[in-house]
Amino acid sequence: MADLQWWETAVIYQIYPRSYQDSNSDGIGDLPGITSRLDYIAGLGVDAIWISPFFKSPQKDFGYDVSDYCDIHDEYGTLEDFDDLIARAHELGLRLMIDIVPAHCSDQHIWFQESRQSRDNPKADWFHWVDPMPDGSAPTNWLSFFGGRAWTWEPLRQQYYLHNFLASQPNLNHANPDVRAALTDVARFWFDRGVDGFRLDAVHTINGDVAPYQDNLANPKFEPGPLPQQQQPFFRQLHDSAQLNQPAIQKFSEAFRGVADEYGDKFLMGELHGDDPVLASQTFTAPGRLHATYNFNLLAWAGLTVDELKNAISDAVAAFNGTGRLTFAFSNHDVPRSGTRQLAPLGLGQEHQEALQLLLLKLETCLIGSTCVYQGEELAFEDVQDIPVDQMQDPWGIEFAPAFLGRDTCRTPMVWKATAPNGGFSSANTTWLPIAKGHLKRAALDEAARPASVYTAFSEFLKWRKTQPALMQANQMSDLSGTAKQIVFDRISEQQTLRCCFDFETLTASFEEV
């Protein structure tokens, strides 16, 4: 059996740079701060890190609105700081992935600044520009993820432009080969600097179609969920019918894969969602396209019961068993933290937060494919739901507060030492989001030194994981079984069959060779 590629079994630690470590006392995390904490990450035993965007940006969506893909945002440091970071990561045996946003850029990007001026400038076709309908309305019924229409009027051109997120995040026109070429140049720029892979943001929202754009169909299955964000009009539509996940996107996947292959051992992991995410994932990971897609099944905002967890895992595994072409995650910078979110559906009280978090970490790192662990999961941090509305930062949360708190709840700064000012995150008077007092009892360096901590247990587990052929040498697993409170499956390689049992009654994982 051929050896697996590194990314097929990788445990990837996700860093939200604004909230990791501040090195210059401005209350904002930065690249030198991350470099200073790499030993802590390496000590956990993960294989790679993924850093959310740190490129030049007006920070309207905290870096997911890029105004220069090949430079560093001032608050985060310089290209030299990045070179130091990657050199130190590689010295420690950590691969480094960065977060490229190919679907849209900032309205401050020079590409958009030029494009919006007129209908005949050199960048006139770099975005999706469309004339109004005869009655003046927008070209289609498409809505933005963050609320409101996906089309905004530009007086200079007397046209609408498309944005699937904020109006300040115009969608790039991937039907234009110059756009694809500009983005593959970005890929080369960072591969030349030594990065090992990309997390590709929101690839389902790339649009390579040409006008006339079609209306989205209504979603006949729409039922407003219990959470305010699930009641948004956005969810009344079927998106894969027109707005998202269109076949033309795959020109992008193929172009990026071509560049990655020129550099060898690289990893392209696409963030992807849609009406039928499994189907879309298969399309994105067909030969010659992305290596893997980032699977949303375990990220459900309201958490999942044991039965729902089983279904979520089975659904993804059914499509990808025998391959490493998917990435599982329980937490990221966009959803409430799993240690909190998963308590209620599993019928557990807060006193079980640590044991549950450790169990979830073990479960996800025993599934096929790679895993993304979000900063603070190794510390069983709870979600922070008491941020005062006037200190909220997330534009999505601000739009819908107080009914919906947005994504600040999982983005508060890391804390390192319970006794240090701001938990050791920063020596500034104020930090960009408040420090979560509740996190201080599990501050990172304190926990790394404490034998009974989740950090210590997870790092021991990751060491053990590396010694198990069934987990490291094949991406094969059996169907799921177990009682109503258990998830049981076998991981299978030529050398070993390992029965993995995750018990949500006792909150323990057990393993047995069979």
Per partner kind, with CB cut-offs from 5 to 8 A, the member of ligand GLC, Ca ion, none near residue 387 is: none
Residue 142, CB-side half-sphere exposure with 13 Å CA sphere: 26
- Residue from 105, 117, 113, 215 nearest 167 by CA: 105
Active-site residue, selected from the candidate residues 215, 262, 276, 479 = 262
Query: Contact between 201 and ligand GLC (CB under 6 A)?
Result: yes
Query: Contact between 309 and ligand GLC (CB under 6 A)?
Result: no
Query: Contact between 329 and ligand GLC (CB under 6 A)?
Result: no
Phi, psi of 422 (to 5 degrees): 50, 30
Question: In the set 31, 49, 98, 202, which binds ligand GLC (CB under 6 A)?
Answer: 202
Query: Contact between 76 and ligand GLC (CB under 6 A)?
Result: no
Mark 11-40 with x for binding to Ca ion (rule: CB under 5 A) and - for no binding. Answer: -----------x-x-x-x-x----------
- Residue from 468, 470, 495, 373 nearest 10 by CA: 373
Report the Cα–Cα distance between both ends of the chain, in Å, rounded: 21
How many other CB atoms sit within 10 Å of the CB of residue 407? Answer: 21
- Cα–Cα distance between 461 and 463 in angstroms, integer? 5
Closest CB 397 distance from ligand GLC, rounded Å = 11
DSSP helix/strand/coil, 244: coil
Closest CB 171 distance from ligand GLC, rounded Å = 11
**How many residues interact with ligand GLC (rule CB under 6 A)?**
9
Query: Contact between 107 and ligand GLC (CB under 6 A)?
Result: no
Per partner kind, with CB cut-offs from 5 to 8 A, the member of Ca ion, ligand GLC, none near residue 364 is: none
Closest CB 431 distance from Ca ion, rounded Å = 10
Across-strand partners of 269?
A: 199, 292
Per partner kind, with CB cut-offs from 5 to 8 A, the member of ligand GLC, Ca ion, none near residue 26 is: Ca ion
Closest CB 335 distance from ligand GLC, rounded Å = 10
Question: In the set 8, 22, 61, 490, which binds ligand GLC (CB under 6 A)?
Answer: 61
201 is catalytic: yes
**Any residues with CB less than 8 A from the CB of 50 and at least 6 apart, and which?**
12, 13, 14, 15, 97, 98, 99, 199, 269, 372
- What is the DSSP track for 119-160? SSSTTTTSB-EEPPPTTS--SS--B-TTSSBSEEEETTTTEE
Closest CB 292 distance from ligand GLC, rounded Å = 16
- Cα–Cα distance between 14 and 100 in angstroms, integer? 14
**Any residues with CB less than 8 A from the CB of 397 and at least 6 apart, and which?**
404, 405, 406, 407, 408
Query: Contact between 296 and ligand GLC (CB under 6 A)?
Result: no
Active-site residue, selected from the candidate residues 30, 47, 75, 201 = 201
Question: In the set 20, 40, 54, 64, which binds ligand GLC (CB under 6 A)?
Answer: 64
- Cα–Cα distance between 513 and 470 in angstroms, integer? 10
Residues 8, 268: contact at Cβ < 8 Å?
A: no
Residue carrying the six token digits 């890190």: 49
> Residue 81 or 209: which CB sits closer to Ca ion?
81
Query: Contact between 47 and ligand GLC (CB under 6 A)?
Result: no
Per partner kind, with CB cut-offs from 5 to 8 A, the member of ligand GLC, Ca ion, none near residue 502 is: none
Burial degree of 135 (CB within 10 A; 0-12, 13-18, 19+): exposed
Closest CB 18 distance from Ca ion, rounded Å = 9
Query: Contact between 306 and ligand GLC (CB under 6 A)?
Result: no
Per partner kind, with CB cut-offs from 5 to 8 A, the member of ligand GLC, Ca ion, none near residue 71 is: none
161-190: which residues touch ligand GLC (CB under 6 A)?
A: 165
Query: Contact between 84 and Ca ion (CB under 5 A)?
Result: no
Across-strand partners of 271?
A: 294
237-276: which residues touch ligand GLC (CB under 6 A)?
A: 271
- Cα–Cα distance between 300 and 330 in angstroms, integer? 8
Closest CB 394 distance from ligand GLC, rounded Å = 9
Per partner kind, with CB cut-offs from 5 to 8 A, the member of Ca ion, ligand GLC, none near residue 202 is: ligand GLC
**Any residues with CB less than 8 A from the CB of 464 and at least 6 apart, and which?**
none
Per partner kind, with CB cut-offs from 5 to 8 A, the member of ligand GLC, Ca ion, none near residue 378 is: none
Q: Which amino acid type is present at position 390? A: D
Active-site positions?
Answer: 201, 262
The residues that touch ligand GLC, with contacts defined as CB under 6 A, are: 61, 64, 101, 165, 201-202, 271, 333-334
The residues that touch Ca ion, with contacts defined as CB under 5 A, are: 22, 24, 26, 28, 30
